[in-house]
A and B are shown apart, each in its own frame.
Chain A
Amino acid sequence: MAVSGSGAAGGVRPDLEQVFRVHYARVVAVAARVLGSRDQAEDVAQEVFLSFGRSSVSAAEAGGWLSVAAAHTALNLLRSGRRRASREVAAADGAQAVPDVADAVVVREEHQRVRTALSRLPRKQAVALLLRHSGLSYADVAAALGMSPGSVGTTVRRAESALREELNRHASPE
């Protein structure tokens, strides 16, 4: 069978759609845990799948790879957009004069604290924490991060302990 050499569209993999359909919800969920926003999480998912489409990661490893990529991309976004995001939140607070505004503010503030705490965790701890809380098994987290299953528990435990401390610290009035 003759194969034309020209016009190949950048080497994007043919199983992209199948992988996308299987893993999209999970990828969005991982990113949403970091960002607290569905819209932002879906943006992250688009970026992650575009990268995946250009990669040669095997389909068997796709789930772990995508989850890790979602966590990293979302955490990166958190870091780069933290200042901007807090300004936006402040602006939104002023604009939203709805009855449950008090509740909304509390939720937003709590989320801001979680994001701040996440962004201060060592990256590997943060990613392991996110993957585990997104439903990946210890074995899956281990495979995705290249760790031994035994050390996943230790890493997640450290992350949770640090997260609690960060949350407590930021919860107390300054």
Chain B
Amino acid sequence: MRLRSDRHHPTDGVLRRLVDEPAGVADADRAHVATCPACLAGLEAVRADARVAGAALGASPRVAAPAGVDVDTAWARLASAGPAGRAAAPARRGRWVAGLRRPAVAALGVVLVLSGAGVAAANDWLPIFRTERVAPVAVTETDLVALPDLSAFGDLEVTGEPEPSAVPDAATAEERSGLVLPEVGELPTGVTGDPTYQVVDQVSAVFTFSAAKAAQAAAATGEALPTPPPGLDGSSVRLQAGPAAAAVWVQPSGVPVLAVGRAVAPTASSDGVPFETVRDYLLSLPGLPADVAAQLRAFTEEPTTLPLPVPADLVTTAETEVAGQPATVLASRDGTMAGVVWVEDGVVTGVAGAVSTDEVLAVARGLR
């Protein structure tokens, strides 16, 4: 050992590594350097040069810590410079889907199938969406955000994870959700490859009405609170949605382009006064936006009518038929996105994507 280390002076390269990654240097070399005056002198010179280089390469005040880098903005830039075609106009789609993602949607139990894909999509699109947030687009989002303002009339407690989780394949998605995912016949032009699968577990929201809170909220709008029906104060309504599973086709640039999914239709139940009583009373409250009121009104009217809180200035709706069931078609006014939703046996099925209305209906009617 001693003989060997005396005989071999390690190379400059080994000395260099000794400066900043000594664990990568062999024990014998380290032992040698520690007792060899020539190597110690060499090590000092190597260390000095390394220090100079480090200072020179990191000296600029403009080369700040990478923590200062705005990855979201940078990604939005890259995504907008990405491939043409369906990757175009991501901001508009992002806005719509981001709207669907609002807590209000989950809280009112109208999440449905679109949200499984929609939430996933919003995650991807959020950076793009953020770049748009200063634009005057907030009107509809204000309405959507106003939805959880039910918390102004009581306590709202959401349980369950409204975020989707990715699962490896269709079988896992079906097993976790207990739903059968339909198979897509022919994909629209420009949608290619295999989908990714997402599952959203059951989400429920318990809204407990509080007369005191509601009175405060009413006073804030300058109006008196209508007298609550007997027994309403402190009674709870439980809104439930999911589980849901979705197959999501993602654009090569990472932007979701088509989603097909199923969800257990939302339900409502109450522990005190009937849900309809709570609903009607909420509808009579001052400050409830008209469109939200309409959606709330629709909640239990027809099992086939879903109260979709769509941003009306961006999305149009129409009625059609899929698989013998009445279905609702949603289309963004700019033509970049369309979706269709229908209900059968308490299960909501939806198809949505950055496709035309015709394409989305073709996919929906071709499901197996």
Interface residues of A, Cβ cutoff 8 Å to B:
1-18, 20-21, 24-26, 28-29, 32-33, 36-38, 41-42, 45-46, 49-50, 53, 107, 110-111, 114, 117, 129-130, 132-133, 137-139, 149-161, 163-164, 167
Contact = CB atoms under 8 A, between A and B. Distances in A.
B192 A4 contact: yes
Nearest to B63: A32
Interface residues of B, number: 61
A110 B60 CA distance: 9
Nearest to A36: B60
B36 interface: no
A18 B250 CA distance: 13
B69 A24 contact: yes
B69 A9 contact: no
Given A21-B75, A36-B60, A16 B252 contact: yes
A39 B252 CA distance: 27
A46 B78 contact: yes
Given A38-B64, A117-B56, A167-B52, 12 more contacts: A2-B187, A4-B188, A4-B191, A6-B190, A10-B83, A16-B252, A17-B124, A17-B254, A24-B71, A36-B60, A110-B59, A157-B15
Contacts of A24: 69, 71, 74-75
Contact of A10 (B12, B75, B185, B252): B252
Contacts of B24: 137-139, 149
A113 to B, nearest CB: 8
A14 B13 contact: no
B186 interface: yes
Contacts of A26: 66
Contacts, number: 186
Contacts of B250: 14
A35 to B, nearest CB: 9
The majority secondary structure among interface residues of chain A is helix
B58 interface: yes
A28 B64 CA distance: 10
B184 A8 contact: no
B321 interface: no
A25 B53 contact: no
Interface in B208-259: 250-254
